[in-house]
Amino acid sequence: MGLIACQVVYEHGFDWLIELRKYLQSNLNFLKSFLKKNIPQIKVVEPEGTYLVWLDFNALRLSQEELDEFLLNNAKIYLSSGIDFGIQGIGFQRINIACPRSTLQCALEKLMIAIKQSEYWFEY
């Protein structure tokens, strides 16, 4: 079954791939716009061909452990912790944008509320 599915995608999946790329770019644009407007402390690292986007939380001045705990316990979201990718990942998290826009928006709104209700909120 897997081989047949693979063959069908290779032979007939170009239109789907184009639409997927448009959708992912749209979600990336939404992510960047939302953060810039609502949580400017968090910076987006422009992805290079992936739907996993690095977010730089270093402006919050939290240790990696504090950041991981804050996201899970306060924002009630789970992102991929940067430290899992080496010490250069400290202060970073990865978010998956290959999801429905409503899912992405919900996660970002939870993050925004948690940060604005915390001691880490400051205006730029």
pLDDT in tens, 85-103: 999 999 999 999 999 999 9
Residue 122's pLDDT is 59
pLDDT of 123 > 90? The answer is no
**Would you state the pLDDT for residue 2?**
86
For the domain made up of 12-116, the CATH class stated in words is alpha beta
- Pairwise CA distance, residues 124 & 13, whole Å: 45
Helix, strand or coil for residue 105? helix
* pLDDT on residue 101: 98
* Lookup: tokens for 81: 């912790």
pLDDT of residue 49: 86
Quote the pTM value.
0.88
Residue 113 has a CB neighbour count (10 Å cut-off) of 14
